[in-house]
Every structure is written in structure tokens, then in C-alpha cells.
A and B are shown apart, each in its own frame.
Chain A
Amino acid sequence: MGIKINNQNTHNSSDEEMVLNIGPQHPSTHGVLRLKTITDGEIIKKITPYIGYLHRCFEKHCENLTYEQAIPFVDRCDYIGSMNNDFGYAIAVEKLMDIQVPEKVEYIRVIVAEMNRIASHLLAVGVFGLDVGAVTPFVYCFRDRERILDLFEMLCGARLLYNYIWVGGVSHDFPVGWVEKTYEFLDYFEPKIIETNDLLTYNKIFIERTADVGVIPPEVAISYGVTGPNLRGSGVKWDLRKNETYSIYDKFDFDIPIGTGAMGTIGDCWDRYYVRIRELEESLKIVRQALDQMPRQGDIYESMPKKIRPNAGHIYSRTESPRGDLGFYIESDGSATPSRLKLRSPAFTALSCMDEISKGWMLADMLTILGSLDIVLGEIDR
């Protein structure tokens, strides 16, 4: 268990402080992120995250792209959960244009988005294990993630950056045999969660490294705008799929897992990790129900507009991505390109509370905390 030392007990002399730069090229920072840490011995006094190394000018660039052309760039924001990003973007533009998509398209979108959520959480769980020193679960998680990527490759031809969910529809229908293969995957994957639990979740060494470490109290999480599994890990029951139902999520029966402090305090790293594991099960439930209920016949191109030219106006819509509350603000002046597009990134807010929660912890615990937040730098820098 990490040792938290209060600042009052340490020396006041600033001579003993040291500035340590972690990153930009450091495997534990999950991308190109520089953390300027001021340390006293091994204890962290202050962390300043320096972001922007992966800045690609996404928002400004979108002002020069048509609404269809922006989708590949939306994909590349959160490159772990591309389907969810496309989903959020498509919903925002559809709200702006008052498009009602057919039921079959809604089901297809929910299925692929939840499959992508599983893939994203598998990466988060595996890499978190890697951060605290458990290498084996990472390989096991990637083995299962690979199966989802294979399914997506069969579906739309790409493995990571799909460009599959379009405004008003999707690019293809499910290929022949895809549904059966997905059922096969669901049956295969269910016991693998138990395997991950045996390997990592209830491992005593892992619990000692993560329980009670990096506690985000619920009020701190809310004040920083932390969303998604990080917020739910702090015991706040907030999920846009239930609280602000979009698409057809009201048709499915699923729970919102929250952190309970089973191994330590509510809102510690273990809770955030375990919320993700539980969400894997919930996503599996949703995919199974959606596959069962999905209408097999239907035209998926029915509501797809020939030209995307929304009327002048603006819209803010948010959806639940694997990392949390993903918002799109789009301002249209009636032309084929948005006059302003803003992305509200959940990973950005998660990183912003880094300084608050890692003060007083050891350096090794800081990397545990960073891993438990599950940030994607592509989305933070945009």
C-alpha cells in the first residue's frame, strides 16, 4: 500500500525540492504527455501536466472540411474508441439537421459502439496492469481485443479508424455471417472476464498497489468535471446512457456499476479499475440484447442526406464514450462546412484533477494514478 505523507511533516526548505520531467516520451504517460513534477525526495509536491505535443488543430481544421470529411478526423481524436466518437458526432449533426434514423441503424450503431467500448476498456485494463507491473494480463487483454478488431475489419475494412458511422446512417450493413461471429465472440469473451479477475483484479499484490491510492472524493470529481468510469469509480451514479438517454439505450436492461470501496476507500484506483471490469459485463449484456432485438430487414440508407447542409444554428450534444462525457458543439452558418466545431474531451478533465489527487504520494503511485485515469492524448490535445 502506498504511503501518503502530509506536507506539514516534511521539511520546508525549498533546497530539497527537485524538478523531474516525466515524458514526453515515457511509456507510462500513455502518449506524448509531459508531467513536470516537483518532488521532495520521492514524494510529489506538485504536478503540472504539459499537453499539446499531439496537437493537430482538429477544431480549426474542421472549419475547412465538409461534415462528411470531418468524420475521419473525429475518428483520430480518441483513437481507442473511434466508433463512439463517430457516434457522438453523427448524433450532434443529426440533431442539427432534424434527422430521425431508422431503427435498424440505431441498433447497428449501439452494437458497434458497445463493442468498441469493450475493446477500449480491455486496453485500459491491460495497460493499467502494465503500469503497476503486471505484464501477463496485458497480453491476455490484447488477445481478446484483437478479436473485436478482426470483427470490425470484417465489418468496415479498417481495424482502428473506422469511418463507419455516418451522418444519417452507417456506411455498410452488417456483412453476411457477422452477427453469428459476434455471438460467438460474446460466448467466448464472457469467461475471459473471470480469467482477468483471477489474474489481476483480486491479486493481493495488485490490490496493495492500487487500493486507497489516488482517491478522488465525489465532490472533487464533480467540481473538476470528471466523467465516465472515473466519476462512477467515486461512487457517483451518472451515466448519460441512463440519465440522458440517447439513441435507443432505453430499450436495454443494464446496470451502472459504481465504485463501492470494496478494497479500500471509495474512489481509489482499484475502484476505477473495477468499474471498467464491471462495464465490460454490462456492455456484453447490451450487445447481446441488441443482437437479439435487431430487425434483420431494413434499409440503412433511408435517412442518409444527399448533401449535408444544416440550417444556420448551433447545437451541443453529448454522449457517453468509454472515457466519459464526450460533447460536440457545432455552429452552422448554413454552408457545407461547420463554422465552429468544439469537442469536449472527457480525458482532458480527467487529467486536470491529476495535481489535486496525486499530491503527497510517491512517484510510483503517481504513475498508478495516471494509469487508472485512462487518458488518451489524442483526445486531450486534439
Chain B
Amino acid sequence: MNYFLSIFQTISTLIIGMSVTLGHMLKIRKGNVTLQYPVERWPRPERDIGFSPDSYNVIRSRLTVDMDDCIGCLKCERACPVDCIKIETHKVEKGEDITEANHTGVTSNGTTKRLLLTRFDIDMSECCYCNLCTYPCPEECIFMVGGPNSTRHEIDYEFSEYDRNDMIYRFSKVPPDILQSYVQENK
């Protein structure tokens, strides 16, 4: 008797389960959640967190630096838990433009710069996307793409490379031949 009861229960619960899946099959057009990825993409979530004229973007993607605004304070380098930001600076005349090294003397916030950034490398293959480096920045010039300057940059999730060295982003604007002279001067 128990044997037949088990068979009955199995079949009845199977039918209940099948009816759930059948219901989904019938409304597949309406309730479809699977996307054909490279062709279709899930829309990025709304990103207005409400205190900026342009939507302040919090989505974490690649790090970007506005080198014209960077004063070389090393706060981001110290905040990074995995040490993927490497900065080297060179002392120059305060507030002066050096055109051959693409150096501007004053940031867009009006702060005078006394340091020339000979190196600003971010290894994005080491980055853990914690976003900790963007908060201490006094000039708001480093951001996981988005941030207050989101209008100037695009969000990109797909930035894989064939070579690991291509994942190191070099932001320093100093041309290599001029860089050599600064490095020798430092020695």
C-alpha cells in the first residue's frame, strides 16, 4: 500500500513541478531573462545617487586618472590594499607650465602643482576594484570610471588583453626622451 502511495506522490508532485516549468515556457517571450550575451546586453542599473548635477556614477570599472589635475600627493598609492598604483614624482618650479613634459602648473581646482609626475602606473590586473583609492583624492582626479567626471569617460567592462603588460596603464604624460633626463638628474 505504501508502495503505491509513494508512486502516487511522486507522480503528483512531478506534475506540480512540471506545471511550474510549463507556465514559464508558455510566457517565454514576456518573462525571458536569458540574454544572448555578445549580441544583447543587460542594461546598466540606474546610477543616480543624488548629489551631483550629472548622475554620480558608482559602478566600478577601470581606474582612470586625470593627469592635469593630479598633484602627486600619493594618497591613492597609500590607500591601495594591493599596491597596484606606482607613482614617482620630480620636484619642479611651483605653478609653472612645462610644455615639453606636458605639465600644467595649476589644476582645474586652482591648486598649484609643485611636482612633475614622471611615473603613474596602475596595474589593472592586480586591482581588486575596492574603490578605496578614489575617496582620499583631494583633487578628485582618480576614479573608477564614472565618478563625478563620468561625462568625460565611458564605462567599459570588457578590457581583457592578450599580454599581461598591456594591463599596466601608464598615465604619466612625460614623453620618454625627456623622462630619461629627469631620471638621470634624480640620480
Question: Which residues from chain A sit less than 8 Å from chain B, CB to CB?
Answer: 65, 68-73, 75, 136, 143, 146, 150-151, 153-158, 161, 163, 171-177, 195, 198-200, 202-205
Q: Which residues of A contact B129 (CB under 8 A)?
A: 158, 161
Q: Which 9 A-B pairs have the closest CB atoms?
A: A154-B45, A69-B81, A72-B130, A175-B49, A157-B58, A157-B60, A204-B10, A176-B50, A204-B9
Q: Which residues of A contact B6 (CB under 8 A)?
A: 204
- Residue of B10, B33, B59, B60 near A205 (CB, 8 A) is B10
Assembly CA distance A136 to B23 (angstroms): 13
B130, A163: Cβ atoms closer than 8 Å: yes
A163, B131: Cβ atoms closer than 8 Å: yes
Interface check B91, CB cutoff 8 A: no
Contact flag A175-B47 (CB < 8 Å), given A69-B81, A136-B21, A205-B10? yes
Contact flag A198-B17 (CB < 8 Å), given A143-B33, A163-B130? yes
Contact flag A203-B45 (CB < 8 Å), given A72-B81, A72-B130, A153-B59? no
Known: A156-B58, A157-B57. 5 other contacts (CB 8 A): A69-B79, A157-B144, A173-B49, A202-B13, A203-B16
* Closest chain B CB from A336 CB (angstroms): 11
A198, B9: Cβ atoms closer than 8 Å: no
Q: Which residues of B contact A204 (CB under 8 A)?
A: 6, 9-10, 12-14
* Closest chain B CB from A368 CB (angstroms): 18
Assembly CA distance A96 to B38 (angstroms): 49
Size band of the interface chain B makes with A:
20 to 34
Q: Which residues of A contact B50 (CB under 8 A)?
A: 173, 175-176
Assembly CA distance A283 to B79 (angstroms): 35
Contact flag A195-B45 (CB < 8 Å), given A65-B81, A203-B13, A204-B10? no
B49, A172: Cβ atoms closer than 8 Å: yes
Contact flag A69-B46 (CB < 8 Å), given A157-B59, A199-B17? no
Task: Write out, one digit per residue, whether chain B residues 29-50 have a CB within 8 A of any chain A CB (1) or not (0).
Answer: 0000100000000000111111
Q: Which residues of B contact A157 (CB under 8 A)?
A: 57-60, 131, 144, 146
Interface check B20, CB cutoff 8 A: yes
B10, A154: Cβ atoms closer than 8 Å: no
A175, B132: Cβ atoms closer than 8 Å: no
Of B45, B46, B58, most A-chain CB atoms within 10 Å: B45
* Closest chain A CB from B118 CB (angstroms): 26
Q: Which residues of A contact B10 (CB under 8 A)?
A: 204-205
* Closest chain B CB from A299 CB (angstroms): 12
Interface check B128, CB cutoff 8 A: yes
Assembly CA distance A75 to B132 (angstroms): 13
B47, A154: Cβ atoms closer than 8 Å: yes
* Closest chain B CB from A297 CB (angstroms): 13
- Residue of A71, A176, A203 near B130 (CB, 8 A) is A71
B46, A175: Cβ atoms closer than 8 Å: yes
* CB-based nearest A residue for B33: A143
* Closest chain B CB from A196 CB (angstroms): 9
* Closest chain A CB from B127 CB (angstroms): 11
Q: Which residues of B contact A202 (CB under 8 A)?
A: 13, 16
